[in-house]
Copies of this chain bind each other. A is one copy, B any other.
Amino acid sequence: MESELKEMLIDLDTIKRSLPDPSLLASIDKMQSRVEHLTDLAKSAPVRRSKVKDMSAEVVDSNPYSRLMALQRMGIVANYERIREFSVAIVGIGGVGSVAAEMLTRCGIGRLLLYDYDKVELANMNRLFFRPEQVGMTKTDAAVQTLSDINPDVVLESYTMNITTLQGFETFMSSLKNKTFSPSKEGSGVDLVLSCVDNYEARMVVNQACNELNQTWMESGVSEDAVSGHIQLLVPGETACFACAPPLVVASGVDERTLKREGVCAASLPTTMGVVAGLLVQNTLKYLLKFGHVSPYLGYNALKDFFPTMEMKPNPQCSNTACLQRQKEYILAKPARDAAAAKAKKDEVSVPEGPVHDDNEWNISVVDDAEPVTENASSSDTLPDGLVHELPIADEFQKPSDPEEMTNSVDDLDELRKQLEALNAD
């Protein structure tokens, strides 16, 4: 805009000098002052920050990454800058997905893939991220606008479409497989898929895609009464998939009949969605950057500030054939996993100075893979305190022959370590 205004001033000057009629001079003068005023306005408009080539740990006010790189000095993360190598796909850019996208953008993630078909409405303003001036834009366009302003270093790809349609699913699959960003990466083209959708059908589609691609993903959800939510880690073949067990919600004490009624508008709160997005991205960072313990399942009951945890094994009778295939592969790969774990343990002993937190090594992958088929996720009354099923229980989960169904809440790392040691001792 500024350059255009400058050109106009030159043009006006030219006209002025060639004008034979002095009566027109007043008009030209007025126009010149108008253009000068517009120039001032244009100059005060926002300036975008420029791209940053390397993440610096330098402690200066002008460094957008200093407080993140400090995680290395504090002994939390071994190599923070690796975050630039990762691709994360976020399906659903609503109350949870948009905040998750903003958090990852501010953390300097390498590449974000954003999927949504909806438009921004004023009715979305009770959640974080979107602004009233974006009403009418697609959520993907509005998100790209905001996120690229916040951090131009992040590669943003947006897909304005519905993944539950036939064509949408194809585009979804091919976008996840695309490896242009990191051609040498194993598996699919993304490191993690975050499901932030608000309905069962879309979750089943994400589940299908991830089972087919052998893609680890995290699921998130917030109840329709806005006061509970959850996140869940799904590793094809290793943990329950979304079809293995009926989805769970944190019991909020609300009569289920007050939920899911025809034509009832769901409640939502920026607090609940902000907390769920925060827990989701925190676990994403732990998973990608290998620190702390990644929660297999974490619930949030806002009325009681209660956070149940648990784990779910895959269901050998799962109705999803891709899931069954991944389960088979997971069992076959057990000897290789055991050998790798033994080697890692040996290597660790020989390292003279380990990281501050050797918690890192005890990530979700080491938990209890001894007999993955003897226990399986399912229904029944073995749920941890405070959790209930969100949907009616499917028939296939009610077989009386099913063994003990669900492992109990394990939120202590020492406990996990002891369990692993007990398994290794067998």
Contacts and interface: CB of A to CB of B under 8 A. Distances in A.
Interface string A10-49: 0110110011110110011011001101100100001111
A123 B224 contact: no
A4 B70 CA distance: 49
B34 A24 contact: no
A266 interface: yes
Contacts of A259: 74
Interface in A256-311: 258-259, 264-272, 274-275, 277-279, 281-283, 285-286, 291-293, 295, 298, 302-307, 309
A227 interface: yes
A319 to B, nearest CB: 30
Contacts of A5: 38
A121 B32 CA distance: 36
Contact of A303 (B41, B279, B291): B291
Contacts of A268: 67-68, 70
Contact of A359 (B35, B71, B253): B253
Given A99-B274, A225-B76, A255-B356, A38 B122 contact: no
A127 interface: yes
A102 B128 contact: yes
A151 interface: yes
A227 B68 CA distance: 12
Contacts of A426: none
A122 B281 CA distance: 22
Interface stretch (A54-62, A155-163, A176-184, A199-207): A54-62
A125 B215 CA distance: 31
Contact of A279 (B121, B254, B269, B305): B305
B292 A269 contact: no
State which size class the interface on A falls in: 35 or more
Contacts of A227: 76, 292
A212 interface: no
A331 interface: no
Nearest to A231: B305
Question: Oligomeric state, in number of copies?
Answer: 2
B106 A128 contact: yes
Nearest to A30: B11
A328 interface: no
B254 A74 contact: yes
Contacts of A285: 269, 271
A131 interface: yes
Interface in A213-267: 224-227, 253-255, 258-259, 264-267
A44 B20 CA distance: 39
A403 interface: no
* Residue in A41, A64, A282, A286 whose Cβ sees the most chain B Cβ within 10 Å: A282
A2 to B, nearest CB: 11
A281 B71 CA distance: 26
B15 A24 contact: yes
Interface in A111-167: 121-123, 125-128, 131-133, 135, 149-151
B106 A49 contact: no
Q: Which 6 A-B pairs have the closest CB atoms?
A: A46-B133, A292-B303, A275-B278, A70-B267, A274-B278, A61-B121
Interface of A: 1, 4-5, 7-8, 11-12, 14-15, 18-21, 23-24, 27-28, 30-31, 34-35, 37-38, 41, 46-49, 59-68, 70-71, 73-76, 99, 102-103, 106-108, 121-123, 125-128, 131-133, 135, 149-151, 224-227, 253-255, 258-259, 264-272, 274-275, 277-279, 281-283, 285-286, 291-293, 295, 298, 302-307, 309, 356-357, 359, 411-413
